[in-house]
Chains A and B, each alone.
Chain A
Amino acid sequence: MKLRILPEGDAALLVQLEQEIRPDINARLAALVKLIRQQQIEGIVDLIPTYCALLVQYNPLVVSYDTLYQRISSIARMDIRTDEWHRTIWEIPVCYGGDFGPDLPAIAKHAGLSEQEVVRIHSGRDYLIYMLGFLPGFTYLGGLDERIHTPRLGTPRKRIPAGSVGIGGSQTGIYPMDSPGGWQLMGMTPVKTYDPERQNPILVEAGDYIRFVPISEEEFREIRAAVEAGAYRVTTRKGEK
């Protein structure tokens, strides 16, 4: 695997693959992360995989930069396979438009399409979760249809409610918690992608896919009630990679 290893200070190093946002590069990165985890290298404190780079944080009193550089270089020379996995697709119910998606008319107007058409396009494909970051559980999704790319708001909102689904430029995603933000909001999911009370507070993982499934306001209320009662499970499908 072609990569570059650089120090990021004295307690972290950055492993860079080709600096491009591409599913195959991201999959190779995920495979590398898996291998590094399997090796259980003493001194590694945390790993932050992103689109096409991996930040390895370590305790320099346990392992030096030079040693870790060697270890990771040799792991990278191993035969890394990415084709053997099956992907998980999370079906996230979304109620589009109305109060839940106040910017849907603006998104449709910008695209020169009807609101129904925008919803059909947005919910018509699986999005790869390239990485999580910014906020706990905030997903960086790839593959938004160019026809509905929409610039961010000129003035960000002070508070976007948790569960909001929006578009910011060429990206789309779900706000996991109340947060300020500049994305154009098109809908809301009753599902909690971040729930600090849950065993796994974060629902999804990098490398999984998300499919948005349109629901009515009534369904939204039903699912929300089930979520609050702890009786709702998000549907997942398995697909071939």
Chain B
Amino acid sequence: MGFRVLKGGLLTTVQDMGRTGYQSQGFGVGGVMDRRSFRIANMLLDNPENEAALECTLIGPTLEFTSPMIIALAGGDFRPELNDEPVKMYTAIYVKKGDVLHVGSARTGRCCYIAFSNYLSVPVALGSRSTNLKCGLGGFKGRRLEAGDYIETRIQRRQYLPYFLSRTLPLHEFDGDSAVIRVIMGPQQDRFSRKGIETFLSSEYTVSTDFDRMGVRLEGPFIETKHGSDIISDGIAYGAIQVPSHGKPIALMADRQTTGGYAKIAVVASVDMPKLAQRRTDDRVRFVPITVQQAQQLIREEEAELQELRSRIHRPCREVLEVRLTAKRIESLMEDGRAYAGS
């Protein structure tokens, strides 16, 4: 019950929303880079919001299923194929025993998520199924997936998903090569000169090749400090933008360290973190300041929008009325009727 990994892809790991509650002991939160896409992938399957999924980076894996289940992909467009036929992102897909899912290379974005209706069977370590690569903790054996791995699923089968044909959402086209990233200034903006802050807010920065799960270094004009950027080490929030002595901003992502000793000029608004996580090398970004109150209002609006998407996939769809189309889409269900019919 599960799937075999035929190819591991560039960096495919088991992730959920991360490991909180242990940062005071030095355990980083980790978890998914793009929370929004991760949530949508699970939502398409009615999975619990924080159910572990696979995070693929730039080049996805190839998986062979050993039992039937329903999967969904969301995030950057990785041009997935099932048995050499293109399948849609942002759509619930029924897979049978022996089916091979090939997740290609990213056409847009840099990561995507594969959610599974039967849930990945990996142990919970310190409250999370996320893979902490540095400690070899959590996820599948604490490491990235490799060819030959066999991942089991936790349950044998799920009830047939209601409104199966409605479970499709439009592809998210991540902004072109230039994006506006909203930030909340501080907490250490007083460490920077007026000129330094002006540089940060008026310049275009380019995503460098130094981009991993820990953070992304941006190339662009030097940000001036008053007296250097060393501070007495303190805690680091998701999306904090540090400026070390080289004067170039570094945005800290999922696998950031818990604490650090460089001044943080600003922190990326939560709603814009997916946008940043999906940037590619040489893409450009600009930073625009907003207040913490505005940022929290944006979070509430995004939540309402996700609720709207959820209700959209829980309504009967028009396609049901078109016999030919319906027949085509439920064909695979019929073929493997033993697994799902009547359940």
Question: A138 contacts B237, CB within 8 Å?
Answer: no
Question: A136 contacts B186, CB within 8 Å?
Answer: no
Flag whether A223 is at the interface (Cβ < 8 A). Answer: no
Question: B27 contacts A7, CB within 8 Å?
Answer: no
| Contact among B22, B259, B267, B295 for A134, CB-based, below 8 A | B259
Which residues does chain B contribute within 8 Å of A61, judged by CB atoms? 299-300, 303
Chain B 207-254 residues near chain A, CB threshold 8 A = 231-240
Flag whether A52 is at the interface (Cβ < 8 A). Answer: yes
With A48-B24, A135-B26, A196-B135: A9-B239 Cβ-Cβ less than 8 Å: yes
Interface string of A138-179 (1 = CB under 8 A from B): 101000000000000000000000000000000000001100
With A9-B184, A55-B236: A45-B25 Cβ-Cβ less than 8 Å: no
Which residues does chain A contribute within 8 Å of B285, judged by CB atoms? none
Flag whether A82 is at the interface (Cβ < 8 A). Answer: no
Flag whether A24 is at the interface (Cβ < 8 A). Answer: no
Question: B187 contacts A8, CB within 8 Å?
Answer: yes
Question: B187 contacts A48, CB within 8 Å?
Answer: no
> How many positions in chain A have a CB within 8 Å of any CB in the partner chain?
44
Q: Closest B-chain residue to A20, C-beta based?
A: B232
Within the complex, the shortest CB–CB distance from A104 to chain B, in Å, comes to 26
Flag whether B32 is at the interface (Cβ < 8 A). Answer: no
Q: Closest B-chain residue to A49, C-beta based?
A: B24
Q: Closest B-chain residue to A179, C-beta based?
A: B134
Question: B269 contacts A10, CB within 8 Å?
Answer: yes
Where chain B touches its partner, the secondary structure class is mixed
Flag whether B264 is at the interface (Cβ < 8 A). Answer: yes
Chain A 1-48 residues near chain B, CB threshold 8 A = 6-12, 14, 16, 19-21, 45-48
Name, among A47, A52, A60, A176, the residue most crowded by chain B CB atoms within 10 Å (CB to CB): A60
Question: B259 contacts A9, CB within 8 Å?
Answer: no
Within the complex, the shortest CB–CB distance from B31 to chain A, in Å, comes to 12
Question: B293 contacts A133, CB within 8 Å?
Answer: no
Within the complex, the shortest CB–CB distance from A17 to chain B, in Å, comes to 10
With A133-B26, A137-B26, A201-B126: A10-B232 Cβ-Cβ less than 8 Å: no
Which residues does chain A contribute within 8 Å of B137, judged by CB atoms? 196
Q: With A and B bound together, what is the CA distance between A205 and B254 in angstroms?
A: 24
Question: A134 contacts B258, CB within 8 Å?
Answer: yes
Question: A9 contacts B293, CB within 8 Å?
Answer: no
Q: With A and B bound together, what is the CA distance between A116 and B21 in angstroms?
A: 42
Q: With A and B bound together, what is the CA distance between A133 and B256 in angstroms?
A: 11
Question: B26 contacts A7, CB within 8 Å?
Answer: no
Which residues does chain B contribute within 8 Å of A45, judged by CB atoms? 20-21
Question: A65 contacts B292, CB within 8 Å?
Answer: yes
| Contact among B25, B125, B126, B295 for A10, CB-based, below 8 A | B295
Flag whether A70 is at the interface (Cβ < 8 A). Answer: no
Which residues does chain B contribute within 8 Å of A132, judged by CB atoms? 24-26
Chain B 141-199 residues near chain A, CB threshold 8 A = 184, 186-187
Q: With A and B bound together, what is the CA distance between A9 and B188 in angstroms?
A: 11
Which residues does chain B contribute within 8 Å of A20, judged by CB atoms? 232
Question: B232 contacts A64, CB within 8 Å?
Answer: no
Question: B26 contacts A134, CB within 8 Å?
Answer: yes
| Contact among A8, A52, A176, A177 for B232, CB-based, below 8 A | A52
Flag whether A119 is at the interface (Cβ < 8 A). Answer: no
Question: A131 contacts B27, CB within 8 Å?
Answer: no
Which residues does chain A contribute within 8 Å of B258, judged by CB atoms? 48, 133-134
Name, among A7, A8, A52, A131, the residue most crowded by chain B CB atoms within 10 Å (CB to CB): A8
With A7-B292, A65-B292: A131-B237 Cβ-Cβ less than 8 Å: no
Which residues does chain B contribute within 8 Å of A202, judged by CB atoms? 25-26
Query: Please, could you name 30 A-B residue pairs with CB atoms under 8 Å apart, sorted by A?
Result: A6-B186, A9-B238, A10-B269, A10-B270, A10-B295, A10-B299, A11-B238, A11-B270, A14-B235, A45-B20, A45-B21, A46-B22, A48-B258, A49-B235, A53-B232, A53-B234, A57-B20, A57-B237, A60-B270, A132-B24, A132-B25, A132-B26, A133-B26, A133-B259, A135-B135, A136-B27, A140-B233, A201-B126, A202-B25, A206-B24
3 closest residue pairs by CB, A with B: A55-B235, A9-B267, A48-B235
A contact residues vs B (CB 8 Å cutoff): 6-12, 14, 16, 19-21, 45-55, 57, 60-61, 64-66, 131-138, 140, 176-177, 196, 201-202, 206
